[in-house]
Structure 1
């Protein structure tokens, strides 16, 4: 018995030592529940997926949650090994390499049930005031429409602020990814307020998001190749989809913050 215990202890110690010696990757991220958040179990399904992928490539991973503009800027400056997760924009290619697509998203317009809304073309939104997120892109076509001046977008730093403005009728519409929007309503508002809000079924944008790796770091190209190959293995085996199936069945719930 003592011999078996010694063998088991040796295996555990070796495993812990191997983990401690694995190279550390630091990834900047913005708060984007239910996909990514410091306050969720395993920091959300996207963080869980990225962490597992890179662990199988021999890395330890730390996520550092920052305001979105800072998450971008500090990763671009090479102070992080990667940043998660971002829509592709051509101008971002000056700073980053993009992984293979990591997340499929659907953006919709949220609005009050008391203010019925319909649209077919962007011009149908003319004259409206919209809520929006700091540094958010809503795809090249809608970004160009915003620049036309036909609508006004008031950008703030959180979903909570945007939905509060919607509830107070300070904005008419809030474009957001459908699961992200409903997670914010579910977790940050009472049932009565959440029930006042719905979304238009026509998608504003069906989008892919990516892990971005800074061009400033020499290791980024090789790391991207390893990440992409492992991600494809996950997709081929069906393992990729299980993270998002778990999200729909109630995993990745909010967790209590760690004591200071």
Structure 2
């Protein structure tokens, strides 16, 4: 190859047209919901990690913005974000958003003290018991209807920490909460000794599906949704989807504190 031809090849290789372009950025609004979504967790939490990897495999880079939940919804609905995560399906939300395939299966269970064995098959098995609960919180239509009958008393407070404190002091017998959310709270707010006193019943009180929502305001949402759903299904088919939640249960998304207490496994 003569010198002129070699120079031409080198110039072509160095041309901006041949250089790799940075991935397109997607902006996604999210709320704080540890251990699934939180700026205080590695990768922003397991769901943020999963979404980032799904879109990375489609050639996108994700920028998450943590906002109060109402603002996260409103800003995305107005088209100021490419998507918002994660949300339960409600028919009224379909006016603003397209829903992805299910991204997260939330499982609500009853937490209780190991020293007070507990079993249940139907809501009537709870009659006469005192429960903890969240302020203005719904545990599903069926259980809300049962609570309205007044055969059990639910004492509602504003935080998981307060509810678990009441459970440890035996002021309530049960506390219904999402499985991973409950154990994340125990690990964050309580000593290993106190956390070890609490377990959960394996029968779910409620299973909820949550979704990524893409705004109908944006013309590209439908095509982006289809790509996301195909990639999500491939993760499920390969078993990769489950690996994220095994890492969650192993505590791999937690950022060690300066002087951490001894930690328990999330599940027994």
Q: Hey, what does 2:266 align to over in structure 1?
A: none
Q: Hey, what does 1:246 align to over in structure 2?
A: 247
Contact 2:32 2:39 in 1 (8 A): no
Q: Hey, what does 1:42 align to over in structure 2?
A: 43
CA RMSD of aligned residues (A): 3.3
Residue 52 of structure 2: SS of its match in structure 1?
A: helix
User: Residues of 2 paired with 1:128 and 1:143: CA distance?
Assistant: 15
User: Residues of 1 paired with 2:204 and 2:160: CA distance?
Assistant: 18
Contact 2:27 2:65 in 1 (8 A): no
Residue 186 of structure 1: SS of its match in structure 2?
A: helix
Equivalent positions of 1:158-197 (< 5 A) are: 158-197=159-198
Deviation at 1:45, TM superposition (A): 2.1
Contact 2:25 2:63 in 1 (8 A): no
Residue 139 of structure 2: SS of its match in structure 1?
A: coil
Q: Hey, what does 2:30 align to over in structure 1?
A: 28
- Closer, same or farther in 2 for the Cα pair 1:221/1:144, shift >3 Å? farther
Contact 1:40 1:255 in 2 (8 A): no
Residue 132 of structure 1: SS of its match in structure 2?
A: strand
For structure 2, the residue ranges without an aligned partner over 5 or more in a row are: 1-13, 259-268
Q: 1:18 aligns with which of 17, 22, 30?
A: 22
Give TM-score, length-normalised by structure 2: 0.73
Residue 22 of structure 2: SS of its match in structure 1?
A: helix
Contact 1:26 1:82 in 2 (8 A): yes
Q: How many residues align?
A: 243
User: Residues of 2 paired with 1:66 and 1:213: CA distance?
Assistant: 17
Deviation at 1:99, TM superposition (A): 1.0
Residue 209 of structure 1: SS of its match in structure 2?
A: strand
For structure 1, the residue ranges without an aligned partner over 5 or more in a row are: 1-8
User: Residues of 1 paired with 2:134 and 2:172: CA distance?
Assistant: 13
Deviation at 1:179, TM superposition (A): 2.6
Give TM-score, length-normalised by structure 1: 0.75
Residue 18 of structure 1: SS of its match in structure 2?
A: coil
Deviation at 1:103, TM superposition (A): 2.0
Q: Hey, what does 2:105 align to over in structure 1?
A: 104
Equivalent positions of 1:1-260 (< 5 A) are: 18-19=22-23, 22-33=24-35, 35-126=36-127, 128-133=129-134, 137-146=138-147, 150-151=151-152, 153=154, 155-156=156-157, 158-254=159-255
Contact 1:30 1:71 in 2 (8 A): no
Contact 1:87 1:137 in 2 (8 A): no
